[in-house]
Chains A and B, each alone.
Chain A
Amino acid sequence: MSHQHVAPQHNNGSEHGTVKSYVIGFLLSLLFTFIPYVIVVNQVVTGTKLLITILGFGVIQAIIQVTFFLHLGRGPKPNWNQFFFVSTIAIILIVVGGSIIIIQNLHYNMSPQDKVKKIANDENIYQVGGKETGACKVIGKNHIVVIRNGEVKPLLTTTKKCDTLSFVNNDDKREITFGAHPNHDVYAGETELVIRKGRSKTITLSEVGTFQFHDHLQPGTAGNFIVKP
């Protein structure tokens, strides 16, 4: 059997392992696989806590395998492999984390029904396949509510169904939501109107009744509107 001199003393710039390191890595990985598995199956914790728990175990196991299987960090300095690995992780955190943050903000507070209702209302889709959606077919007149220095003028707006209501904000960014503070009601699919300084947002009044609205950021700024049939 040819036993060629294959491994020079110099470690080729890559890191090598011993049987011991592989066994330790293997056993630790087994442990960090079974623990989160058991936790999930038995629902020892739930919700966000559970998510963070299993992610934590996953990250630690990844570090274990990178250390004991890939032997990262044990080569001669400067360790370029390590540098590239850390840079890649940084990029990943930005790309993945950023994507998740962006999408979270889109989904904020909107149930699927709200979304559908809002779209129908915005686009005046009053019927689908012969069935009425509740959205308006013909738009009436526009009413304007002006918010300045925390004051709402007029405090009460009386409208007719299928009129529109415009909120004009002359103060710093406001987040107008419906109902009385601390409630966040939904009106015709609208959950929240974020209105920056000097801008306005308009909603179609497709629901009849008496309604309140307030600024989620400064609940003292509030008003009402009536929608007559």
Chain B
Amino acid sequence: MSEHKLSHHEEEADDRALFGFWVYLMTDLLMFAVLFAVYAVLHGNTDGGETGRELFKLPLALTNTLILLTSSFTCGIAMIAARKGDKRQTLLWFGATFLLGLAFLALEIFEFYELIHEGHNLGSNAFLSSFFVLLGTHGLHITFGLLWIAVTLGYILKRGLNRHMVRKLTMLSLFWHFLDIVWIFIFTIVYLGAFV
């Protein structure tokens, strides 16, 4: 089937799909906001244990922030390539996004492992519970995003780039940018906030 100029109906369907996805993202944002509220209320309840100031390593957090920010950037460039129909560039830039996202996840898991290994785990106190749930939820979203990227790239490799793939990629990129925006607040409120 050859590509054809979009009919009005198809354009509207695309609009609706993207709008629906956007509304989903807003509900996701609301969920994160509630987790932030919980963290804001409970971050001081350490049950006599160490506070964030004593546990967090800012250089590590900064590194993760920069990695995710860069991946958001590469994702943007990838979308430009996708809209131009450039299959190779799309694969390249989304591939870079994937690798950066993977690095972010690995560093975060490493950080979690160290904390848990030293006895600071989800059940230790309210502060750590809210910390792990907030960051863990974000990490789960990242994991899902990575899977999504991998599957989509696989599809593009096998079946090429077309309008439907671009719509899927648009949603994926919205999702990925959204996760970076949430991370801005995690970095600010959780990590930087611990040193206020």
**Contact between B76 and A88, CB atoms less than 8 A apart:** no
**Contact between A6 and B84, CB atoms less than 8 A apart:** yes
Chain A residue numbers with a CB within 8 Å of B85 are: 2-7
**Contact between A46 and B196, CB atoms less than 8 A apart:** yes
A71-103, CB under 8 A of B: which get 1 and which 0? Answer: 000000000110011011001100110011001
Chain B residue numbers with a CB within 8 Å of A66 are: 181
Complex Cα gap A151–B79 (Å): 75
Main secondary structure of the interface of A (DSSP, over half): helix
> Does B174 count as interface, using CB distance less than 8 angstroms?
yes
**Contact between A69 and B76, CB atoms less than 8 A apart:** yes
Q: List B residues 19-49 near A (Cβ within 8 Å).
A: 19, 22-23, 26, 29-30, 33-34, 36-38, 40-41
Q: Which of A18-26, A181-189, A209-217 contacts B (4 or more CB under 8 A)?
A: A18-26
Q: List B residues 104-132 near A (Cβ within 8 Å).
A: none
**Contact between A91 and B166, CB atoms less than 8 A apart:** no
**Contact between B196 and A47, CB atoms less than 8 A apart:** yes
**Contact between A12 and B189, CB atoms less than 8 A apart:** no
Complex Cα gap A145–B18 (Å): 68
**Contact between A8 and B6, CB atoms less than 8 A apart:** yes
**Contact between A65 and B180, CB atoms less than 8 A apart:** yes
Partner of A12, one of B15, B29, B84, B177: B15
> Does B185 count as interface, using CB distance less than 8 angstroms?
yes
**Contact between A1 and B29, CB atoms less than 8 A apart:** no
Q: Which of B94-102, B133-141, B142-150, B157-165 contacts A (4 or more CB under 8 A)?
A: B157-165
28 A-B pairs with CB atoms under 8 Å apart are A3-B85, A4-B3, A6-B82, A10-B6, A10-B11, A12-B18, A14-B18, A14-B170, A17-B76, A25-B73, A26-B69, A30-B66, A36-B192, A37-B192, A40-B58, A41-B195, A51-B193, A54-B192, A55-B188, A62-B181, A65-B181, A69-B73, A81-B22, A87-B26, A88-B26, A88-B29, A95-B34, A96-B37
Binding site for B on A (CB under 8 A): 1-8, 10, 12-14, 16-19, 22-23, 25-26, 29-30, 33, 36-37, 40-41, 43, 46-47, 50-51, 54-55, 57-58, 61-62, 65-66, 69-70, 80-81, 84-85, 87-88, 91-92, 95-96, 99-100, 103
